[in-house]
Amino acid sequence: MIIGVPKEIKNNENRVALTPAGTQELVKRGHQVFVQATAGEGSGFLDEDYVESGAQILPDIQSTYAKAEMIMKVKEPIEEEYELIKEDQLVFTYFHFAAYEGLTKAMIKNKSICLAYETVEKPDRSLPLLVPMSEVAGRMSIQEGAKYLEKPLKGRGILLGGVPGVRPAKVMIMGGGVVGTNAAKMAAGMGADVTIMDVNLQRLRYLDDVMPANVNTFMSNEYNIREMLHRVDLIIGAVLIPGGKAPHLITRDMLKEMRPGTVLVDVAVDQGGCIETCKPTTHQDPTYIIDDVVHYCVANMPGAVPYTSTLALTNATLPYAIQLADKGWVKACQENRDLALGLNVIKGDVVYDAVADAYNLKHVPFEKYLGNVWDKV
């Protein structure tokens, strides 16, 4: 298979979809890898590293898309890329379609095959290609939240862990999944007073068992959220509905219940945000203020630590990329249920129900393309 790795062009996105090590693994299986010039530089990988691993370097993004049968990316294609994607071309990346209607319509129009990292799903409901970036984003959310609590950055002027004789900051984490768990670990390690909320009592029991003493669990509902708002300094939005839009757990009217300088970090911004006043921001201009509350809503948080993020991501994606390259997308998805659930749009058909629901589009079961491989998916 001919694989293309374009340079990411989203604002301040320094990750790359394939490392030189991953390139070598694909090349030794007989595949051709074409990498756009300087695609890996932001993550610390030079063009020479890719050439030594067997890749060929192409001068621009247009030639990279034109050459490839499968495109490997990190972030969803942006408008400049829509026209570059060809009919029947496989695009393997994060899409988050439910948050981007224009992207969804563009991919339907160009009749490509869109296989989304974020909806590849194992039988235990875990999301193996979302986990590594969720781990990075969860840990970063506390790092960034602690920074924006500083007074020069319009925060409350509170040190997250406090000092002897002074209480630490109070952190509320909405969601006990991978993002929330990693955020709680970081906040607890820095000495904060942490409350993690979830609707799943079994998950809360587990977290109560494994978290340190400065992490409390609390059932998530509107009443309990409102009860917490006037007491917390940092709120982390860490709610995920696989493939769908995140629910708004913090509404506009709730901002008035918070103290001036409270910081909100919405890690769910890629899925529309679980904070109603959330709108995507960039690393270049990461925050804005509404009702004296600081909002940090960067849509590609792990892009700020590209070396760590690229290695973590490709550790997870490479085994799936090898299957797709070795077998083609149809056979790979027929033989691997995890991959089949990553299919979102195929040749103009929306085959992932949460995406179809988001825009009232017709949902076409992917069995149309794969056949009835399983009794139940």
Q: Which residues does the annotation place in the binding site for NAD(+)?
A: 134, 198, 203, 220, 239-240, 267-270, 298-301
The phi, psi pair for 348, rounded to 5°, reads 95, -10
Pairing outcome for strands 349-350 and 343-346: antiparallel
Residue pair 93/73 in contact by the 8 Å Cβ criterion: yes
Strand partners, 36: 58
Q: Say how many CA atoms lie within 13 Å of 159 toward its Cβ.
A: 9
Instruction: Please enumerate, as own/partner, the contacts of 20-25 that have beta carbons within 8 Å and a separation of 24 or more.
Output: 20/45, 20/49, 20/50, 20/52, 20/53, 20/55, 21/53, 21/314, 22/314, 22/318, 22/321, 23/50, 23/53, 23/54, 23/55, 24/53, 24/54, 25/318, 25/322
Q: What is the dihedral of CA 320, 325, 327, 328, to 10 degrees?
A: 100
- How far apart are alpha carbons 302 and 350 in whole angstroms? 28
Q: Is the dihedral of CA 201, 203, 208, 209 positive or negative?
A: positive
Annotated binding-site members for substrate: 15, 75
Question: Where do runs of H (alpha helix) occur along the chain?
Answer: 20-27, 47-52, 61-67, 79-82, 101-110, 131-148, 178-189, 201-210, 222-229, 306-335, 337-340, 353-358, 367-370
What tokens does 109 get?
């129009």
- Answer yes or no: are the C-beta atoms of 344 and 369 closer than 8 Å: no
230 assigned to active site: no
**d(Cα 176, Cα 201) in Å, to the nearest integer?**
10
Q: Which residue has the tokens 């290695």?
A: 311
The answer to whether the Cα torsion of 158, 159, 162, 163 is positive or negative is: negative
Q: Which of 193, 266, 270, 338 is catalytic?
A: 270
Question: Could you confirm whether 375 is annotated as catalytic?
Answer: no
Tell me which residues are annotated as active site: 96, 270
